[in-house]
Amino acid sequence: MNDASRTPYRKKVFEHKSEDTATPAKALLMLLKAFVGTGVTFLPGSFASGGLIFSICLMVFIAAICLVAFQILIIAQRQVGGSYGDLGRSLYGPWLEYLILFFLCISQMGFVASYLIFISQNIGLAVGHIANCGSPIESKYFIWMVLSIIIPLTWVRKIARLSWCAIIADVFILFGLLSILYFSTSQIMQSGPGPDIQLINTKDFALMIGTAVFSFEGIGMVIPIVEGMEHPEKFPLVMNIGMCIVAAIFILIGAIGYLAFGANTFASIVANLPRVPLSTAVQILYSCAMVLTCPFMLYPALSIVEDGLFSDHGLFGHQRGRKSLKWKWAKNLCRSTVAAVCAIVSFAVGPAGLDKFVALVGSVACMPLCFIFPGMFHYKVTNSKWKRGGDVIMIAWGFAIMVYTICINVHTWINPSSSSRPTPVECPQEQNSY
């Protein structure tokens, strides 16, 4: 590398991998864990924005484009080596590495901000049901209670110490997704399809594009997974299988959830579940899973910001918390501030803006990481004119669709009545039961 002093930092941020011993089966499981999380619960609501047929076709198309982008990203990584940021520095210079780190930072913080909205909304619904509509606290204020749990977890420097959180979160997420399928299919069998099912929603389909890209939130884990494999040359097949499974899960949850509740589908399908003990358990456990997931999602952003302040080239120079209690708590304050910024954003957006915020994060932060940068990397490492032409198309498409969806998204914020999703009522007049 041109700057050896930066290598340990980049490894710390992006290379949380096993000691090159992962089998293809283990790599497939890690890939599924990276991509199947909270984003899938936003898909039924986004299907309402795009329409059933358009959304299914779009998910297949986005999955195919992501698969191509991830494959060429791995081709570039295997030729150049290093993390996502390393590729930018090696192929284009420090400016692209800093730009990549910026997008990684805002994407991870955007994920966590959306998680906090999701968590506070579901805790509010669960508390309202348990207290028989007697909760004195509006759901958005639960954000600050959740923040008090997340902040101490962000102080953990070695992410391996939080591995138990990931295991518990995965179990809760699996339980939640199975429950969503159960309630959605039960709703369809008992009441038929939901109201106002649209095949193509010509008014709000652009919001679906951003949410679809948001759903593929595991882009930052692709390189660490392939580097953790015993035989990395087998990763392309693992990626092909993994993306097919992920796309199938996304389409299944999105289509079944939208068919069940139609135009009444909320931004998060979990909020559509009936007020019964099982659904309350799902809301609580899924919220717990997201609380445990937040430290992992924030880890790259925390390391990027901390490195920018306390490393050799940082604002305050190289400072070690082990040797100085003052600097240790300064770093803790820095990490706490990053989490607090996510909470402030989520509190300002609120449940009413959740669907648009998710689409905005997908458009602003995820599209460059998923489409533009992989195309730029592969353009530098291939000698084929045809492949370079494909890279230019990938870059141009990513940039054009990013600009277009951002413009549409901003319009929906300025004119919220034109595309607002319904918001859940904590104490509905009639309780559903199964």
- Residue 137, SS3 per DSSP: coil
Q: How high is the pLDDT of residue 139?
A: 77
Strand partners, 229: 22
First-last CA distance in the chain: 60
Q: How high is the pLDDT of residue 408?
A: 80
Q: How high is the pLDDT of residue 374?
A: 92
- Buried b / exposed e over 238-255, threshold 16 CB at 10 Å, is bbeebbeebbebbbebbb
pTM of this prediction?
0.80
Query: ∠ CA 79-82-86 to the nearest 5 degrees?
Result: 105
Q: How far apart are CA 214 and CA 112, in angstroms?
A: 12
List, in order, residues 6 or more apart from 28 with CB less than 8 Å away: 238, 241, 242
Q: How high is the pLDDT of residue 20?
A: 52
Residue-wise pLDDT for 99-140, tens only, equals: 998 988 888 888 888 889 888 888 887 877 776 766 677 778
Tell me the torsion sign for CA atoms 145, 289, 51, 181: negative
Distances 145 to 142, 222, 324, 343 between C-alpha atoms, Å: 5, 33, 30, 10
The two structure tokens encoding residue 200: 């193509």
Is 272:428 a contact under the CB 8 Å cutoff?
Answer: no
Task: Determine how many CB atoms are found less than 10 A away from the CB of residue 258.
Answer: 29
Distances 373 to 99, 351, 388 between C-alpha atoms, Å: 10, 32, 14
pLDDT in tens, the chain (434 residues): 344 333 433 444 444 444 456 677 877 877 777 787 777 888 888 888 888 899 999 899 988 998 898 889 888 888 888 778 888 889 998 899 889 989 888 888 888 888 898 888 888 878 777 767 666 777 788 889 889 988 888 887 776 666 677 778 888 888 888 998 999 999 898 888 888 888 888 777 777 888 788 777 677 777 777 777 777 778 888 888 988 998 999 999 999 999 998 888 887 888 888 878 888 888 888 888 888 888 878 887 888 888 777 665 656 555 565 666 776 778 888 888 999 999 999 998 887 777 788 888 888 888 888 889 999 999 999 888 899 999 999 999 889 988 888 888 787 777 765 555 566 665 555 444 44
Is 354:117 a contact under the CB 8 Å cutoff?
Answer: yes
- Residue 292, SS3 per DSSP: helix
Q: How high is the pLDDT of residue 16?
A: 45
For every residue of 110-134, DSSP letters joined together read HHHHHHHHHHHHHHHHHHHHHTTS-
Closest to 238 measured CA to CA, from 34, 10, 98: 34
Is 100:108 a contact under the CB 8 Å cutoff?
Answer: no
